[in-house]
């Protein structure tokens, strides 16, 4: 077999190996979410594909203007995690980073214009190739470098492989970084929700316990009054629980929140001989956290009033309706029961309604009692989140 044919066959075999390695890495990298594992596997595959014992991935650090070795293959302990060079043209890595072009050093001993760290000599490094790893924020992520203790003759296929590999690595880094940022955001939100839930519930339980102790010391009307206060505290706790159930964010779907609140309200009312059904119909509406919380407190108070006064001797139903106007700028929330009708009373009930009006006014809305059968409360408020 002619020598030229053997060379051609070896070249084809090498290209096939490199293409298979690139495909295998791409498949691995886009399944894996751990960035460190991706970088380490990249170094291993690059070294194996180009038949060299050493490879490293260097990340650019803007504040220090240097290149930090974040992953590698074949190096002694202590190399990974250290700085290889500044990001300037005094080093092979820095030159590649600054120029954006591959840098091939076939013999670093004769390259007198390079500043090299001591571990190169410790590992007997003779030749290096550096290519830039593109970035996803306007600046390159860093540099991918292979190193060998013997002088290599790298051809255009090797450079193309390394460049292509660096591009795939850049996409994998961008994906893993986005996934990690999303995971951290979700974890932070979950921790915030758990902490808020823990604190609110503890405070309300403490208040309920104090009121319970006070109720045991009271008799007659006073004791019943305190029992009602305890029920209100428990309902307030449910307002927060329903809020956490739909997730904490800058804006919340008020329709979903209303559904959750209405489902939980019957179980929080006192024992009664007759049943009361709650039905909720709501258009999707995004509101900010303050508006949702305020409206939730008012809805819970008005539902509780209906339970307590609208159906003294029969079954009944309460209808909750949330609708947007045609322009989508204002919303109307109604709480309508088919009971005996609203009868103003002195005492806590009146004070409760006065508080509801103040809460609604705080979000730029109004609370009005509408004429008709039963009791119909109408809350108009701005629909903008």
Q: What is the pLDDT of residues 74-91, one digit of tens each?
A: 999 999 999 999 999 999
Question: Pick from 92, 141, 87: which is nearest to 115 by CA?
Answer: 92
pTM: 0.52
**Largest pairwise CA distance in the chain:** 112
Distance of CA 194 to the CA centre of its chain: 15
pLDDT band at 213 (very low <50, low <70, confident <90, very high): low
116 Cβ neighbours under 8 A, 6+ residues apart? 85, 91, 108, 125
pLDDT score at 102: 94
Q: DSSP state, 267?
A: G
How does pLDDT run across 118-143, given as a tens digit for each residue? 899 999 999 999 999 998 767 899 99
pLDDT band at 31 (very low <50, low <70, confident <90, very high): confident
Indicate the domain borders of the chain.
13-180, 249-382
For residue 55, give Cα distances in angstroms to 50, 52, 123, 162.
Answer: 10, 8, 12, 11
Give dist(CA 319, CA 324) in Å, integer.
17
Give dist(CA 117, CA 100) in Å, integer.
22
Average pLDDT over residues 62-66: 94
pLDDT band at 8 (very low <50, low <70, confident <90, very high): low
Whole-number average pLDDT of the chain: 82
Give dist(CA 303, CA 332) in Å, integer.
16
More confident residue, 194 or 146: 146
Residue 172, pLDDT above cutoff 70: yes
pLDDT score at 313: 87
Name the fold adopted by 249-382. Heat Shock Protein 90 (3.30.565)
Give the phi and the psi of residue 355 in degrees, each rounded to 5: -65, -40
Pairing of strands 142-148, 127-133: antiparallel
The fraction of the chain above a pLDDT of 90, given in percent, is 38
pLDDT band at 369 (very low <50, low <70, confident <90, very high): very high
Supply 280's token pair: 């909720």
pLDDT score at 120: 94
Supply 215's token pair: 């109720």
Residue 221, pLDDT above cutoff 50: no
Residue 223, pLDDT above cutoff 50: no
Given 3.30.450.40, 3.90.1210.10, 3.40.630.10, 3.20.20.100, which CATH number is that of 13-180?
3.30.450.40
How does pLDDT run across 234-266, given as a tens digit for each residue? 666 666 666 655 555 667 889 988 998 888 888
How does pLDDT run across 264-316, given as a tens digit for each residue? 888 777 677 788 999 999 999 998 877 888 898 889 889 988 888 889 888 99
Question: Pick from 169, 160, 165: which is nearest to 59 by CA?
Answer: 169
Q: Which residue reads 């992953």 in tokens?
A: 71
pLDDT score at 305: 86
The fraction of the chain above a pLDDT of 70, given in percent, is 77
Average pLDDT over residues 167-175: 87
Give dist(CA 250, CA 65) in Å, integer.
36
Contact by Cβ (8 Å): 380, 360? no
Give the phi and the psi of residue 270 in degrees, each rounded to 5: -70, 165
How does pLDDT run across 311-331, given as a tens digit for each residue? 988 899 999 999 998 777 899
127 Cβ neighbours under 8 A, 6+ residues apart? 104, 105, 106, 107, 108, 147, 148, 150, 151, 152, 154
Q: DSSP state, 82?
A: S
């Amino acid at each position: 077999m002619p020598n030229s044919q053997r060379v051609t066959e070896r070249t084809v075999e090498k290209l096939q190996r490199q293409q298979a390695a690139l495909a295998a890495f791409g498949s691995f990298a886009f399944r894996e979410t751990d960035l460190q594992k991706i970088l380490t596997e990249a170094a291993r595959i690059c070294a194996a594909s180009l038949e060299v014992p050493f490879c490293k991935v260097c990340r650019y650090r803007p504040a220090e203007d240097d290149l930090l070795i974040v992953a590698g293959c074949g190096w002694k302990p202590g190399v990974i995690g250290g700085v290889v060079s500044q990001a300037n043209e005094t080093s092979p890595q820095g030159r590649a980073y600054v120029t954006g072009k591959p840098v091939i050093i076939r013999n670093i001993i004769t390259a007198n214009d390079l500043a090299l760290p001591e571990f190169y000599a410790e590992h007997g490094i003779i030749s290096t190739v550096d290519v830039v790893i593109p970035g996803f924020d306007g600046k390159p992520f860093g540099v991918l470098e292979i190193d060998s203790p013997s002088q290599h003759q790298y051809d255009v296929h090797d450079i193309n492989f390394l460049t292509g590999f660096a591009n795939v690595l850049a996409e994998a880094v961008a994906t893993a970084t986005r996934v990690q940022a999303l995971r951290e955001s979700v974890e932070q939100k979950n921790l915030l929700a758990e902490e808020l839930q823990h604190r609110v519930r503890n405070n309300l339980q403490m208040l309920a316990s104090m009121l319970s102790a006070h109720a045991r010391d009271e008799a007659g009307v006073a004791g019943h009054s305190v029992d009602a206060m305890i029920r209100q505290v428990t309902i307030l706790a449910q307002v927060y629980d329903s809020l956490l159930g739909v997730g904490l964010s800058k804006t919340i779907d008020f329709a979903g929140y209303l559904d959750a609140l209405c489902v939980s309200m019957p179980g929080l009312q006192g024992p009664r001989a007759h049943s009361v059904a709650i039905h909720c119909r709501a258009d999707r509406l995004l509101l900010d956290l303050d508006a949702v919380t305020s409206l939730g407190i008012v809805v819970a108070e008005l539902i509780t009033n209906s339970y307590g006064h609208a159906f003294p001797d029969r079954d009944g139903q309460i209808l909750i309706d949330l609708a947007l106007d045609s322009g989508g700028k204002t919303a109307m929330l109604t709480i309508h029961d088919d009971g005996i009708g609203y009868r103003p009373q002195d005492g806590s009930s009146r004070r409760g309604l006065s508080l509801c009006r103040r809460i609604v006014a705080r979000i730029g809305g109004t609370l009005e009692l509408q004429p008709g059968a039963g009791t119909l409360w109408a809350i108009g408020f701005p629909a903008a989140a």
